[in-house]
Amino acid sequence: MSDFSTTAMATRRKVLGDDHVDRAEAAKTDFDAPFQALIRDAAWGHVWSRGTLPLRERSMLTIALLAGLGNDHELAMHIRATANTGASQQDVMEALLHVAIYAGVPRANHAIKIAKDSFAEMAQEAQP
């Protein structure tokens, strides 16, 4: 793996967590390996690793875009990633309020449900 790809994977692990990345890597096959490399290099290398915006802000942008586009599975994953990016529940709500105005109330309403469910699961998992 190149230094660039190593940096991309380190950022991916920092944001999504080792467990998630380890599961994704274990599920990778010869068929989807080119796509996984594209995601690694484009999303995690060229965008998330740029250093021009803090992870918190990138997280909020990503959540707003995923919610606005209705990418629910990815949205839940990135809500969970807020534990690693520093974006608070209040930050997420602010992003989703923007979604309501600029992408539509139904999209924001559904995203808020996903966020509430995700935060509740995270709180449950954090209990001893």
pLDDT tens per residue across span 86-116 = 999 999 999 999 999 999 999 999 999 999 9
Number of domains in the chain: 2
- Is residue 128 very low, low, confident or very high in pLDDT (cuts 50, 70, 90)? confident
- Among residues 19, 36, 52, the one where a domain terminates is 52
What per-residue confidence (pLDDT) applies to 2? 83
Same domain, 44 and 65: no
CA 116, CA 7: separation in Å to the nearest integer?
A: 32
CA nearest to 57, candidates 29, 94, 21: 94
> Containing domain of residue 11, as a range?
1-52
Q: Which two tokens stand for residue 63?
A: 């959540």
Same domain, 60 and 97: yes
Same domain, 59 and 119: yes
Same domain, 67 and 41: no
- Among residues 14, 36, 52, the one where a domain terminates is 52
| Residues 13, 15, 17, 22, CA torsion sign | negative
Type of residue at 44: W
Same domain, 78 and 125: yes
Same domain, 35 and 57: no
85, 59 Cβ separation under 8 angstroms: yes
CA 97, CA 84: separation in Å to the nearest integer?
A: 22
Instruction: List, for residues 35-73, the tens digit of each pLDDT value.
Output: 999 999 999 999 999 999 999 999 999 999 999 999 999
- Is residue 1 very low, low, confident or very high in pLDDT (cuts 50, 70, 90)? confident
Question: Phi first, then psi: what are they for 28, rounded to 5°?
Answer: -65, 140
Residue whose token pair is 């967590």? 17
